[in-house]
């Protein structure tokens, strides 16, 4: 039971990490030091999408699920949890590239806004 709770908790953390990659730059508008956490997280998240890198959080979740006596899954977090709802056919390289571009564009827009705002102060 403990391994299942740990795996489920890791799923929630994974989702929070993805949301932080996408929107963490907005936190920097309020708290400047967040930039030093967000930039590496965003770089990693974008690199995972562009270069089809395996995410260690997915690997850890599958390990915890196996230890709990559950089945793990193939593919990545987004493919298993998110795209299964949005794109039932699965994750294609084009969709993955699009997700990476979306993350990149969101972050470029946010940091452009942050830089302009910080220059005014």
Measured CA to CA, the distance from residue 20 to residue 118 in angstroms comes to 21
Length of the chain: 121
The rounded distance, in Å, linking the Cα atoms of 20 and 97 is 19
Alpha-carbon distance of 14 to 8, in angstroms, equals 10
pLDDT tens across 89-100, in order? 666 788 878 888
Residue with more model confidence, 104 or 81: 104
pLDDT digits (tens, 9 = 90+) for 41-85: 999 988 988 888 888 888 888 888 888 887 766 666 555 665 455
- Residue 18, CA atoms < 13 Å, CB-side half-sphere: 19
How far is the C-alpha of 77 from the C-alpha of 39, rounded, in Å? 21
| CA-closest candidate to residue 22, choices 3, 49, 62, 4 | 49
pTM > 0.85: yes or no: no
- Cα separations (Å) of 35 from 22, 91, 101? 13, 30, 20
Q: Is 90 left (phi over 0), alpha (psi -120 to 50) or beta?
A: left
Rounded CA-CA distance 45/49 in Å is 7
């Amino acid at each position: 039971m403990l391994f299942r709770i740990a795996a489920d908790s890791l799923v929630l953390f994974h989702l929070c990490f993805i949301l932080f990659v996408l929107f963490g730059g907005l936190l920097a508008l309020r708290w400047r030091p967040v930039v030093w956490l967000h930039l590496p997280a965003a770089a990693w998240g974008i690199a995972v999408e562009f270069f089809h890198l395996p995410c260690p959080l997915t690997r850890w979740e599958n390990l915890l699920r196996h230890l709990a006596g559950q089945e793990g899954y193939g593919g990545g977090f987004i493919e298993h949890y998110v795209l299964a709802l949005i794109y039932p056919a699965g994750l294609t390289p084009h969709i993955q590239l699009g997700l990476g571009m979306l993350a990149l564009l969101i972050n470029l827009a946010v940091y452009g806004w942050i830089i302009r705002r910080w220059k005014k102060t």
